[in-house]
Structure 1
Amino acid sequence: MDVSNADETAAVAGPSAPVRRPTLPAGLPGLVGGAVGIGSAVVMAAAGLTGGIVTGTLAAVGGLALWSAWRDRRAAASLASSRDELRRAEDGLAALQARSRDFIAASSDWFWETDSDHRYLYVSKRLGDILGGDPRSVFGDSLLALGALAGAEANWGEYRRDIEAGRPFRDLEVGFTGRDGRSLVFRVSAVPVFGDDGAFRGYRGCGVDATAETQALVEARFMQAVVHDAIDSISEGFVLFSADGRLLMCNERYRQAYPTIADQLTPGRSFADILRAAAERGGYGGEGDIGAWVEQRLTRHLQHSTPVDGRLSDGRWYRISEHATGAGGVVKLLMDITELKRREEELAGQTARLERTVTALQESERRYRQLVELAPYGIVIWDRAAIRFANSAAAMILGVGQEGGEGAGLEGAALAGFLDDGAALEAMLAGVADRGVSRLECAALRPSGERRQLEVGATPAMFHGEPAVLLVLNDVTDRRRVEGELQRAQKMEAVGRMAGGIAHEFNNMLTAIGGFARLAERNPADADRVLTCVQEIAKASERAAALTGQLLDFSHRRVAEEREVVAVAPLVRDLRVFLKPLLSAGIDVVIDASDEATCGAAHALVNPVTLNQALLNLALNARDAMPDGGSLTIALAVEVPDAAFFARHRGLKPGRYVVIRVSDEGTGVPAAIRDRIWEPFFTTKEPGKGTGLGLWMVYGTAQQSGGAIELEGEGERGATFALYLPAVEPPAAPVGFDPLVVDEGEGAAILLVEDEDSVRRYLRLTLEEAGCTVTEAADGLEALERFDEAGGLFDAVVSDVSMPRMNGPDLARALEERNPMLRILFLTGYASRETASGLTGPAGRQIVMKPVAPERLLQALRDLLAE
């Protein structure tokens, strides 16, 4: 391959021009012929004359000499003209060669030529300068060697067919690594050369260095992906139209706001077509020409008026604002203000007497509206050492001033300084970014000391050619508060759905209680029959009490969080009642806890509230894993785990464990996330459909109870979660009522206050059987009268909490004024932890949950009197 400049002239010069030959002027052959004819006539005329031969001969010779002289002069003139034309052609060729050399030297491209076998005949020196060496080390000796640099075989195949057929080709892109380690991209184009006979002689072509153009295209695509990801991460609807009214970009939140035309919101579709589709699908509810309505909306769209509030086709209220872009396009934003509208409607219904309160609420509403209108979300690029880029919204979220411009107070700062437990969160963000896109929630600590709840999306990114993390920050402090209220409302809805199932169970229990009571009444003389009926009544009432206890556990109305010995089998069996209204019709619930020999001994020292909630969480997770239905199995067993189990959980003591297994036939848990499912906030569900705290709470319940939770099996279908709780011995059964006496050995004097007659009679009989002297009262006011009539000579008061006229807490305060040392035992069907704490705060006060067994009542009184 010749890469010198010596042949550059030859490369642009064509074949030599053919030599021009002189021709005779028109008429000259006739003149000569005429002369010959005249001579012949003279000779013939003089033939008969003596001496005529000499004269005729001389005339013919003179004519021939004249013609020959004329011809020589003409040939000399033509030769001189040909020399002039040849000199001018040579001068033009030299000028053309000089221009070609100048163009080649000035061009950033290079030129080349091949023969008919595609081997290089000529390559300009420019390519060697670009490569910094011999072009053959990269391009080889033949044009066909470019196939190794052309990338995909399919793409090269098309070019190769053109080359082998001798057809012109353009922009063949080849890539390779240069001597300095940079990735280079060249583009090559050529045209075929044919000989005079039409045969293919080879190619002449040029090449261009497209490395900078390709790198710019890659960076542009990256920034486009960053912008799309950022826009998809915000909670507001976003759409961008070009200057000619065509849709360029639209996020999913915007499509959700317009479900009837979501399929029309695609790039390239015009705003007028979208409006027309909306009108045809019900958006235009008036009369007249739809086209006029579309034109009116289009005009309003281009005017960019102040934000307006409207209710869209998804049924929610939005603040809609449109803004012009620098390129003449339009940006449209949707802010969900449904909650704000609901508050406005509530405020509108207030009466005049709340005017000052309404004024304060309006001021609060104004601040809230301002916060909603800002709709802040931040974009931060963090290289795992410091913040390298932050927009103004990020600076505002993190509480940094804007004196220096966009994010000036953040760039170069450590991310950990703005986050609660920043070092741990930095490590978590760096780790999840290595594994791909991830989301988490954390608290931001502003320099002023204010805490803000953030929703953070982490995505791997590049910054100045180095690995970095793109963080999208969204301040969700107010949204989480509203979501908490919504969750509480949803929980109450779930409790309402369970009411039907619970009512069915209670009707069964009441049927048993009432039926056996009537049977006992029919034949009271049959002691065995009466005893059997009474025993069945007691079983039904215990079952009703257990069901009520689980309902209180579900609604977190238990008084305390202390652990207690729990019979696990009844708790597991009663789950069916709670799960029935929460599961879809296609899910079959199987409770395997009927083996009395094994399950009857299943007792554990746990908090029944958290255990019940943990089992509900596992069951609901199984439901979510089976959207098309299946079987949900909850099995109870008492086992001694093997050595491998205790090797995995080194802190557990060997022995018997109560094992509750929750199995489903769902999609299973992928191996890639099996080690992460116990992490707080980790979830595979869509945003807004999972908190990532369910399994984490189950894990905490197991740890609190001294046990463990495991995901069993390696199958790709279905999952089994096994909850291990240390087994304990069941509590000893009471043998009878011991007398309840005071220091002098006499029975205790008790003031019994209960508004329900049947409950009061039951409590009185229980106390009297224990040797107590009982004085009854139906409410607090009557209790005060009885107390004063007896001169306050009571050892203790047993009082219901909720009663007419005067309730238990008010009675306690009135009695405390009369006797500060008086002991009081409260009975209640439900009480929050705050209520219980207030009742039992003073010394000499205790609280017991209804229904209360005789043994539990007497033991509580003994403990109270012994204080």
Structure 2
Amino acid sequence: MDVADANEPVRTAGSGGSLPRCQPSSRLSASLPGVLGGLTAFGLLFALTATGQAGLPAAGALAAAGGLSLWGARRAASTAAATAATAAAALARSDAALRQARDELALMRARARDFTAASPGWFWETGPDHRYLYLSDRLTAMLGCDPRAVFGWSLFDLGTLVDDAATWAEYRADIEAGRPFQELEVSFEGVDGRDLVLRLSAVPVHGADGRFRGYRGCGVDATAETLALVEARFMQAVVHDAIDSVSEGFVLFSADGRLLICNEQYRRAYPTIADMLTPGRNFSEILRAAAERGGFEGEGDIGAWVEQRLTRHLQHSAPVDGRLSDGRWYRISEHATGTGGVVKILMDITELKTREEELAGQTARLKQTVTALQESELRYRQLVELAPYGIVIWDRAAIRFANGAAAAILGIAADALEGLPLAGFLEEGGTLEATLAAGMERAGMEGADFDDRLADGAAADGGRRLECTALRPSGERRRLEVGATPALYRGEPAVLLVLNDITDRRRVEGELQRAQKMEAVGRMAGGIAHEFNNMLTAIGGFARLAERNPADPVRVLTCVQEIAKASERAAALTGQLLDFSHRRVADERELVAVAPLVRDLRVFLKPLLSAGIDVAIVAGDETAHALVNPVTLSQALLNLALNGRDAMPDGGTLTIALTVERPDAAFFARHRDLKPGRYVAIRVSDQGGGVPAAIRDRIWEPFFTTKEPGKGTGLGLWMVYGTAQQAGGAVELEGEEGRGATFAVYLPAADPPAAPAASPGPDLLQVAEGEGAAILLVDDEESVRRYLRLALEEAGCTVTEAADGLEALERYDGAGGLFDAVVSDVSMPRMNGPELARALEGRNPLLPILFLTGYASKETAAGLTAQAGRQIVMKPVAPERLLQALRDLLAV
């Protein structure tokens, strides 16, 4: 086989026309020198093949055989020329040698083909300029394309296929110097998309003159090996990461006792030898270091201790617990591997040891407590049985436990109570059971975490108390106070009931309350007399002043007006007392101009105040209006003024000031039920000693007073407080002790009313044009009846009087029922107002009736006005209010 010229294209099999195939030489049979030359070329090719395969014959043997043949041929030729006689013999020997050489050459060719076919790689050859002269067909088959498309034309083109530039620099230096190189690794993407990794090795070829003739080399496919190595490294990293992630300490020793893998948890357990726990260390070496650094305690030979530990290490005994040099407890387990190595695992059991020690202590304490608990149980059982209160456990279905006191309270034997329903022993028992059950559910008895809440005491907050009546089998009724608390009965939610018989206590309390009520009534009577004396003083005084000079109409009118105001205030006081006893309907509020009302106080206060007290009224804001009862407001201001007077026995100035303002946020923080906005503020200030801080919170209580007995009822400030509350406002005490007192009444400000329209004409009460209403007037008080008759007749009404209900029926029947309306008092002898109304309803169901009363509860008022055409007006009633109520009735 001829070696291609360095300037010719690379000859490869299967490369088509562009890569000419190498043809075997035909000149070998023509002359012996040609044969010998062919043998020499074949020897070189075989040597190239042999360099890539281990176990092939050495290239020197082939070269020696070719040299011998050449030497024999030359000698035969010279002998033939010298001696003709020996020519034939020499020629015969040459033919024999030639045949032998041909046989050997054929054998060598067959051997080279077999070796090449069996080799997993391919072969190549370059010239002195490192350009490829030969690339075997196996490379083309492996790549699936022309090798030049990957390898280029020269060895230097391989640099683009080497990943590491530094590595390629080393190999390039060897190639440029003509030195042999091994395992040059190149990687690239094949035509099928797979990543390929190839390794090339080569030896330099030198001529007879020692000159560098190029490289001959081989290559192998290392793709599978590289991928396997990458996968192995990845798996190694995964395994190491997994071992480092576990909470246990882990170490692996090989069969010869050398450390292979050790995680950080294991190193932390042995801080004194952490630096020794590195791959490659021998176990005995690590043990000796541990002994020298303090791991060996006691007397004896360290070597013996190391041998003992090494023996235990190799025996793989059962797990042992021990405290290591980091101060923590570990459970140490050693296991043999399949390859003869040892795996050692450390499990941190410090917390477990701590719990074991705590449990041991608790067990000891528990044993000591059992006896105490038994004694405590006996003691508490005795307490429950001997308790003066009834104790019952009720599971909302039946009574499950009852002590002797409960049995005595309910009037039945204790053993007979168990299993009976609770409702059977209580008046309205079903309702009480539902109430108790609902209360316990709100307390948190339902749910899986009830035991925890009960243990924490949270459920105890849901306990409730109520009063009920117990019904004994004998028919006797007993008043009970029942306390209900969540409890457990046989692991299920239940209710613990504590029964207290309060029958006797309630009787004594009732008697005490009645005694206190009589005392309060007595004190109230004195207070009412005091307040009414003040008003009667004003009424009588103004009446006497009018009598002295009846010819002065202005003076008489002024006195009469003040008498009317005093009577209104007296009526307001009566109304407040009725409100206090819940015996009348509260007066309706109306839009009041506050400034004139405050200024009118000057005339009324003047005869009530002592000579040393000056009154200063500042009420210039005419826009101040409030929705309030004017009578109760006047009475409240009067009470404050009288308190100011009493606070200044030596004289001083009493100031009443009116303002419209917007209170600050602190005010509404104190009165959270009030809405922010404009308020009418009326302040009554005195120059007395002020209110002591110790009683500031009590001055608003009913019957609380600081005055001497007989000089105050303690109702004045309470009425002021009630007036402000009724109007939707508040009252506050301002000022400091020792600097006088200022009481501020705050009322929600209202817009002033529109200007009134001009009066349409006379204020008459008519049912038709020019025809006055016919009224049946019924009242048992003659003076009241006379007043009402005059007021009605002034309005153009025709009035028929009656002293009670029976007389009213006679008048009604006598007139044939020709009445437009009835005005009747509620409380009368023989037949009262409601009875009269029922009697008249049978005669005329549509007859309007106006009831007048000095007091009536809300229930009574609602019953009187339930039917259409009925109204109720509180006494005393002004003429305007009486006529307006009748107009409203007749207009329906």
Which range, TM-score by smaller chain? 0.3 to 0.5
Larger Rg: 2
TM score, norm. by length of structure 1: 0.39
- The TM-score normalised by the length of structure 2 is 0.38
